[in-house]
Amino acid sequence: MAGVGSGGNDIQWCFSQVKGAIDDDVAEDFLYGKVVYQKITNMEVKILDFGSHGLLQGFKWISKLMYWMNKLWLLVPWKVPVLLVLLVKGEMIEKPNKQNKSQPHCRGEYNVYSTFQSHEPEFDYLKSLEIEEKINKIRWLPQQNAAQFLLSTNDKTIKLWKISERDKRPEGYNLKEEDGRYRDPATVTTLKVPVFKPMDLMVEASPRRIFANAHTYHINSISVNSDYETYLSADDLRINLWHLEITDRSFNIVDIKPANMEELTEVITAAEFHPNQCNTFVYSSSKGTIRLCDMRAAALCDKHAKLFEEPEDPSNRSFFSEIISSISDVKFNHSGRYMMTRDYLSVKIWDLNMESRPVETYQVHEYLRSKLCSLYENDCIFDKFECCWNGCDSVVMTGSYNNFFRMFDRNTKRDITLEASRENSKPRAILKPRRVCSGGKRKKDEISVDSLDFNKKILHTAWHPKENIIAVATTNNLYIFQDKVN
Amino acid sequence: MLAKGAKRKFSEHEDGVEGKMSCGNGPSKVSYTLQRQTIFNISLMKLYNQQPLMEPSLQRTVLINNMLRRIQEELKREGSLRPMFISPSQSSDTLNDNYREVQPAFNHLPVPPIQVTSLTSTTSPDSCLTPASVLEDDTFSSCQTIELSVCKSQNHSLKDSFSSALDEIEELCPSSTTADSKSCKSALNEGSSEKPDELQEGRSSETKFADTLPGNFEITTTGFLTDLTLDDILFADIDTSMYDFDPCTSTTGSSSKMTAVTADDILKTLSPYSNQSVTPSQPFKMDLAELDHIMEVLVGS
């Protein structure tokens, strides 16, 4: 996979698709129990029925998206008044490449596949508080049969969904009419064997397990283990281990709740299982530390096996040092040798064999360092950005403000800033690199720090596991970008 | 010399709420202090302006708390305390005579842990910054509801608690020896100690307020943060009422002017919560007569 940057062998990203409300204003109507689907076969695109507008409406805002490992799936949940989980599935359309016949030209077209409501709005009667209507995390399970399984969670409850396709139905029952009414047995004179006839693709999502009542605090992470039998769920103070088949019991494996809550100074912010070792997981904290734990050591993994923490840089010390060191996301790479953490201003890559400091650090938006007080005031400093690896772990990507997102090439050490906006959304339009100037003279095409829009933030990004296709979520739009292939 | 500069810095900072004057050790130190104070204020505002129906994010709360704690530690380390505000359990070299005399009058009250402009070290067990209502798990469910009801009932109970607080103050002055009351007055006559005295009263009255709600004390008033909020409400209310309440000024005449000035000073010495909405509650106005009476006694007019 080519690296990032401009010119030479590097990728030029160009616009592929955008989904969501046309305006940046939140659309008032929303999809509601309507299944919209399309199956794309090679060279064939079916027109979707989105209603009169022809475009998907009803995004409130996108709360999570991710690619799944082996399939060309893109999962987008978003917060609407009735919490929907949207599946967007795409297949590669192979078109013969005129110039280079040996390399087929692949383009991914993504369209809405299914929508279903994952979590109901809830009310916690014990605390007299509403449970906030949003889906915090989604994780796919590895596919074992024709159906797909995914875990989705809100603040308190995790649900396992089964998504299955149906494109055939039986016809020709002896005792039933076509519409389902029972026939009078006296009128049956002949027997026939019911046959399966093709029908329009129907996608069904059914809840299979509900894992509830195990978390006092807000769930921030779920992670499926490599044994494909267990998964962990992490809230602010505890991490629980579940078995996918058992819903009435979970094991607490990490508990950092102090005896006296007034002494609480640190919370868990993210947790993930190691991709290959089923006994290893990591969790990050609000103080910028990552702890690696081995479940073989003890039932309660309060003692970490490794502690990853970078010593504070005294020249950069400020009132906000602790807050900006709080880690918002942890992601292992595909091999499991490295892990990436995202704190407010930077992305760090750690070698699991070295605890003292990260092996690589990339500054995402260093120009914000002088604005931390204002960002603290408007709460932007608490924004939780995610990060992701590309398929071969050579490039990492994360989001920023003003609908900018950044990519860092680990090999060439080059980085690029791109923008997800409707203005750049002409078909096949190549994205232009953007630059932010922190002070002094502003060059042409640069944008100054003071004119950044802090309401336009990209918190979620995802990279296709095999191709150079990325999905970027703004507040209420989903952008898909692909590398430009001549 | 550094200590002296620091002291001066603080007094000037207290007088000018938005403190733009440079003094002491130069603009960089002042701006650092100013920034620290600003961040401190912002943090407090954040903690107390939570959405009532949604659970606040624990991570955010913990981070804000840590920020406040750190600022407190810093101030404590700088040692820039005004002697008046050191709790009696700590010995202080710089107590002036007036204060020493006034203080025993308040001894029997639970010592207020922290004052807003100079954060003392809190030796009392209730010194934690964290509003336990937010973090306490055991009483998590009850805390939230209690806190909500406290916020709602605060206005209603303000009258009762404040009048009882005023009673407390009233008791102190007449019940103490003549020397004490005289020292109270003389303390007030001095410009510098006038403020701390008023604040000390406010402190004790507010602790009394906390005591009158025993359930809440456990839960919501263990931190100085809550004290501050109550302090604000109490004194902010006083200020506005003094200006608005016409019969008060007419009946008390000159003393009302005096009291108005005092209240204003008090408000200035507190952290700049000028943007916090002040709603003088109706029942509160009825206490102005009592307040007047106390002010008369203290001022000695």
Q: Which residue has the higher pLDDT, A376 or B51?
A: A376
B69 chain-A contacts, CB cut-off 8 A? 265
Residue pair A425/A15 in contact by the 8 Å Cβ criterion: yes
Asked whether the predicted pLDDT for residue A49 surpasses 50, the reply is no
**Start-end of H helices in A326-450:** 372-377
**Start-end of H helices in A266-398:** 321-325, 372-377
CB contact under 8 A, A128 and B60: no
Asked whether the predicted pLDDT for residue A216 surpasses 80, the reply is yes
CB contact under 8 A, B62 and A216: no
pLDDT tens digits for range A232-251:
999 999 999 999 999 999 99
pTM, to two decimals: 0.61
Residue pair A71/A143 in contact by the 8 Å Cβ criterion: yes
Output the CATH code of domain A13-20+51-94+104-483: 2.130.10.10
The predicted pLDDT at position B29 comes to 75
Closest-CA distance, B35 to chain A, in angstroms, reads 9
- Phi and psi at residue A434, to the nearest 5°: -110, 155
| Optimal mutation site among B47, B63, B64, B143, interface A, most CBs of chain A within 10 A | B63
- Which segment of A125-139, A448-462, B28-42, B120-134 scores lowest on mean pLDDT? B120-134
Q: At what angle do helices B178-189 and B97-106 cross, to 10 degrees?
A: 130
User: Which of the four pLDDT bands, split at 50, 70 and 90, describes residue B287?
Assistant: low
The predicted pLDDT at position B52 comes to 63
Closest-CA distance, B90 to chain A, in angstroms, reads 24
Q: DSSP 3-state assignment of B294?
A: helix
* Count of A-B CB contacts under 8 Å: 89
Bridge pairing between strands A148-153 and A460-463 = unpaired
A14/A483 Cα distance (integer angstroms): 6
CB contact under 8 A, A236 and B132: no
CB contact under 8 A, A382 and B65: no
pLDDT tens digits for range A182-200:
888 888 888 999 999 998 8
Residue from the list A131, A373, A379 with its beta carbon closest to the beta carbon of B39: A373
Asked whether the predicted pLDDT for residue A340 surpasses 60, the reply is yes
The predicted pLDDT at position A111 comes to 67
Q: At what angle do helices B224-244 and B254-269 cross, to 10 degrees?
A: 150
A472/B232 Cα distance (integer angstroms): 46
ipTM: 0.79
Those residues with Cβ within 8 angstroms of residue B241's Cβ, 6 or more apart along the chain or in another chain? B248, B280, B284, B285, B288
Sheet containing A404-409, strands listed edge to edge, beginning at the edge strand earlier in sequence: A387-389, A395-399, A404-409, A415-419
User: Which of the four pLDDT bands, split at 50, 70 and 90, describes residue B106?
Assistant: very low
Tell me the average pLDDT of chain B. 51
Q: Which residue has the higher pLDDT, B247 or B35?
A: B35
- Phi and psi at residue B268, to the nearest 5°: -70, -35
Residue pair A262/B130 in contact by the 8 Å Cβ criterion: yes
Q: Which residue has the higher pLDDT, B133 or B172?
A: B172
The predicted pLDDT at position B80 comes to 65
Tell me the average pLDDT of chain A. 79
CB contact under 8 A, A261 and B136: yes
Q: Which residue has the higher pLDDT, B80 or A165?
A: A165
Q: Which residue has the higher pLDDT, B63 or B5?
A: B63
Q: Where are the beta strands (DSSP E) in A194-342?
A: 195-211, 221-224, 230-234, 238-243, 246-255, 268-273, 280-285, 290-294, 306-308, 329-332, 338-342
pLDDT tens digits for range B228-254:
444 444 444 444 444 444 444 444 444
CB contact under 8 A, A319 and B140: no
B136 chain-A contacts, CB cut-off 8 A? 261-262
Residues of A with a Cβ under 8 Å from any B Cβ are 124, 126-132, 155, 216-218, 236-237, 257, 261-267, 269, 286, 319-320, 322-323, 326, 373, 376-377, 379, 382
Residue pair A153/A132 in contact by the 8 Å Cβ criterion: no
Asked whether the predicted pLDDT for residue A63 surpasses 90, the reply is no
